[in-house]
Amino acid sequence: MTSMPAIEIDVTTNDSSFSSQESILSNSLSPQGHVRHHSDENLNRFRSLSSKSNGSFGNESGIIGNGYLSVREEVKKRSNKVLMPIANLLADKPNSRPSKEDIMKSYSTAIEEYNKYTIARWLEYECVMRAIVCLMLERDYIQLEQFHRDHTGKYLDDMNTFMDHHMKAQICLNSAAMYKEMNFLRKHAFYARLSVLFELHSADGSQRTPADYRYVYPTLYKSLSGYGIRPTDQLHTISESFLGPAELQIKCLHELYTAANRAELPDAAIRHICHLLQVYYDFMEPPASMRLFDDLDSLVKVLPSTHSLNQALAVDEGKIILPAMQLTRFPMISSPSVLPLQPHLAPTLAKSKEMPSIFIYSPFAAKNENGLLWVVDCPGEVEVEVKNCRDIELVVRDLCLLADGVKFESVPARLILPPSESQNEPTSRIKLIGVPRAAGDLFITGYSCQVFGLHNVCRFQTSANKANRIKVKVVPPLAQVRLECSLPRAPIEEKNSEPSSEATVYSGQRFEHTITIVNDSDVYVRYVGLQVRQPTVAGGPPLISIDEDSGIENDDVAETTGDLLGCTLGPKSSREIKFQIFGIDPTSTADDLSEEEKVLESVTPLASAAIAATTPETESSADMDLIPYTGRLLTCDFIVRYQSEVITEDDEQFYERKSSLPIAITIVPAVTVSAWHVLPGDTPFSRYIVVDVTNSTDHDAELMYTENRRMNVLPKETCRVPLLSPCCSEVAGGAFQLAKMRGSYMMQKMEIERLRQILEAHVSRHLDIKWAVPSLKVEGYVPVGCLLSSVSLLKQLVLPAISMDFVVNDTPYVSEHDVAVALGQVVQIKAVIISSLEDPFDGFLSLDCEQEISHQMGSVNVAQHMLFLNNKKIPFRVTKSEENQENLEKCEVEFDVIFRVEGNFRVRPLITPSAEQPPLLPEDMFATPIAFSVATKLV
């Protein structure tokens, strides 16, 4: 290719003036064969417009940049010279240098003259470029741009046959270099791409070779910045605010990809396709994007090895280095979050021993000591959101985590992401697994994967376009303890990798089993604490109880932490613990139900017609009854927390782990309590607890209670079992009433619970009912937790403040059987008043008569049918003698009465305290009504 003529610039003054007298070209031959000789001995100081040093296509420095710099250097050298004395003598001489307008007028005149001759076209172009350099030095960019448009367009016209397409391409390159020097990047890019168009023009219709495209590839690549296309190493986020004219940018990148592909540069072509898909996928039509994916697949198959997007790519043509890029769109992975280890592997920091200290609150001292910790050789998980933005299935291979800081091994994953129908498709969350191999600070930085046959490495980024390095502290290897049980294994859930056991028992059965604590590691365990999490039992034996003879010594730490057992465990050692499972009553209220959904399924007391209107909810809430146990799903857990003998940053702290063994217990109802009632006993100081026992099995059951008494119960039938229990003298009669007068509800509840536990310990010794089903060869105890948890039942076994015993016609009345008397017969009723109060009690005693009409209608007051032969109200006073303070106070009062009407009557005592005494509540007085059957004649 023939080189362009050079331009000689002569700087004579401090301003930019040019030698228009000698316009000399280089030694190269013009298209017409004319030779221009050098006439300036200082020509070597400046660069030509297109000298042989700039002969390669795509060199955009040209005359504009280098000539301009040379002129400025020369002007700077001359301006810095010290003025000679002759200059001072000539200081008053007027300045004769020409102005810019005169220079441009001279150039315009020269251009018009040269335009008249075809053979002088090169001289004409030289004058145009010298005029442009003049305007550039004057920084008159507006006139320069107009002058350039008016005078260079004709050289690029198709009618200009004097210059071939190579010469036109060089003219475009000179214009591009000029605009780049002026920092007009868009015009620079336009003329650079226009030069490529002329360079690839084929007049004879011949095919372009790969060498031709390698020739123009550097020019196309360097013109990208003029259209706002950012380098691939700066594409951390996909935001429209950085894109600019998307359609024009797509066209430019597609031309660059086409040139690289036809130049047989497959690596560069792949890099440009990934750039297009990464940034402009949302702006392309589906057919265009599909063609790009097909081209990418074809290029990947041609390469002998896997293309790595994370490595810079050197292109020999033009000495171009394509920076690395991150293909974060396929797939879109975001929102990384480090997950804690599995519950049985996650460590926490625990103090060796709780020491008493002065508490001083300071908000600046707040510190999260139990942060997220990973352990060496324990798999850790990082959860990320994954989305496929394509409308076809996307396969991702070898998806691994990238980490710094300590040695880290990532477990590769393979994903098959379903197609996305819209941009608002919800993301999927997956977990990536990695194993740290050394202790220290681990930094999760990004991920790597194989997608479209390319090796892609990406860094996690925040919304502020900054690197998102997730820090995780990795602690040294710790001891790992597991639990083994003699119960059979149960299926485990997918989320929980710990083993579990299961058992099936009948209600009331008791079984003994063992659990073994095993240390499989080589690390010494300085402390092991055992706890049992199970349904809260309010009355009766718990679901699981630890055998006291299990052979495990209690550690001092267990006393302060509340563990049931505490011990040490050496490496590769184990300990065995015995425990018992008791089949509690399977009716309960679930913990996971709300207050509106809770239904009390426990047994209810037997009630008469008058009391039946009271709902169980109101009665239980008034007495603060407790349900037998909480938890409809009968599951319990053995929890072992253990501390490893590993040095920490604080000598008083140790790494602690927890291991658990869930046990699912299925309780089959066998013989259970369905209802209860409290009746008077043989004396005022005893009560009969009448229990309705139901046989829920399909076989005959046998009951044994109270001194080897036996009773048979048919399948699905109910029988009534009376149990005699003495009253509890440890609780005062008005204790429950005083508890309800406490200042707060919590204090009331605590006091009632204390009283309930005292009564439970007293009554549980007398509620012993055994059952056996011979056909099934099973036996057990009737679970009475529902009775022991009922405050309304237990409070009736308290020795009341006032108790009354009756003697009718010199015969003690000890049952509810009717006393037969004749009409008009004088009946002598002696009432023995017994008080358990510390202080004397005085008041008035009277009798009231009721007649039962029917079971549905109840009874009515018929006091007029009973006549008193003495006073209706008799005063009394009960005092305690000083000689015997332990005996209860007693007082006797006699009544003589006559019945005037036949029928069945019930006589109840009425006590009216004196004005100095507090009123008596119904629960403070216990008296059995006397039943009379009045007839005309006695048989």
The CATH number of whichever domain residue 889 belongs to comes to: 2.60.40.10
The Cα 607–Cα 615 span in angstroms is 11
The Cα 637–Cα 496 span in angstroms is 14
Query: How buried is residue 439: exposed, middle or buried, by Cβ count under 10 Å (0-12/13-18/19+)?
Result: middle
> What pLDDT score was predicted for residue 773?
93
Q: Is 668 helix (H, G, I), strand (E, B) or coil?
A: strand
Nearest Cα to 124, choosing from 93, 176, 169, 160? 160
β pairing state of 802-808 and 889-899: unpaired
Question: Are both 7 and 40 inside the same structural domain?
Answer: yes
Domain boundary among 158, 184, 210: 184
Question: Are both 573 and 682 inside the same structural domain?
Answer: no
Question: Are both 513 and 404 inside the same structural domain?
Answer: no
Q: What CATH number has the domain bearing residue 681?
A: 2.60.40
- Kindly give the interhelix angle for 210-222 and 246-262, rounded to the nearest 10 degrees: 150
> What pLDDT score was predicted for residue 815?
67
Question: Are both 769 and 847 inside the same structural domain?
Answer: no
Q: Is residue 297 part of a domain?
A: no
Question: Are both 760 and 854 inside the same structural domain?
Answer: no
Q: What Rg, from alpha-carbon coordinates, does the chain have?
A: 53
Q: Tokens 């004396």 label which residue?
A: 683
Phi (first) and psi of residue 663, to 5 degrees = -130, 120
Q: Is residue 778 part of a domain?
A: yes
Q: Which two tokens stand for residue 201?
A: 């023009």
> What pLDDT score was predicted for residue 80?
44
Structure pTM?
A: 0.66
E-only strand ranges, 1-132:
none
Q: Is residue 613 part of a domain?
A: no
Its domain, for residue 22, covers: 1-184
E-only strand ranges, 342-439:
348-351, 373-375, 380-387, 394-404, 408-410, 413-417, 428-436
Extract the residue ranges of the chain whose pLDDT is less than 50.
1-93, 236-237, 241, 365-368, 588-621, 630-631, 881-886
Question: Are both 498 and 446 inside the same structural domain?
Answer: no
The Cα 399–Cα 407 span in angstroms is 18
- Count of domains for the chain: 5
For CA atoms 230, 232, 234, 239, the dihedral sign is positive
Q: Is residue 284 part of a domain?
A: no
The Cα 816–Cα 797 span in angstroms is 19
Nearest Cα to 49, choosing from 35, 70, 32, 31? 70
Is the preceding omega at residue 331 within 30 degrees of 0, hence cis? yes
> What pLDDT score was predicted for residue 591?
38
Q: Is residue 191 part of a domain?
A: no
Domain boundary among 617, 648, 664: 664
Q: Is residue 299 part of a domain?
A: no
> What pLDDT score was predicted for residue 493?
66
Question: Are both 31 and 97 inside the same structural domain?
Answer: yes
Q: Which residues of 838-850 are buried (b: 16+ CB within 10 A; e: fewer)?
A: eeebebbbbbebb
> What pLDDT score was predicted for residue 885?
40
The Cα 471–Cα 486 span in angstroms is 42
The Cα 603–Cα 591 span in angstroms is 19
Residue 633 in contact with residue 666, Cβ under 8 Å? no
Domain boundary among 664, 679, 713: 664
Q: Is residue 193 part of a domain?
A: no
For CA atoms 806, 809, 811, 817, the dihedral sign is negative
The Cα 214–Cα 34 span in angstroms is 33
Question: Are both 166 and 29 inside the same structural domain?
Answer: yes
Residue 512 CB: number of other CB atoms within 10 A? 10
Q: Which two tokens stand for residue 218?
A: 């550097």
Q: Is residue 79 part of a domain?
A: yes
How many whole angstroms from its chain centre is CA 62? 62
Question: Are both 754 and 659 inside the same structural domain?
Answer: no
| Torsion region of 112: left, alpha or beta (phi above 0 gives left; psi -120 to 50 gives alpha) | alpha
Phi (first) and psi of residue 346, to 5 degrees = -70, 125
> What pLDDT score was predicted for residue 682?
77
Q: Give Cβ neighbours of residue 381 (< 8 Å, ≥ 6 apart).
A: 338, 339, 431, 432, 433
Distance (Å) of CA 912 to CA 803, 915, 917, 923:
14, 9, 9, 15
Residue 320 in contact with residue 269, Cβ under 8 Å? no
Question: Are both 784 and 808 inside the same structural domain?
Answer: no
β pairing state of 320-322 and 778-781: unpaired
Question: Are both 89 and 160 inside the same structural domain?
Answer: yes
Question: Are both 10 and 140 inside the same structural domain?
Answer: yes
Residue 691 CB: number of other CB atoms within 10 A? 24
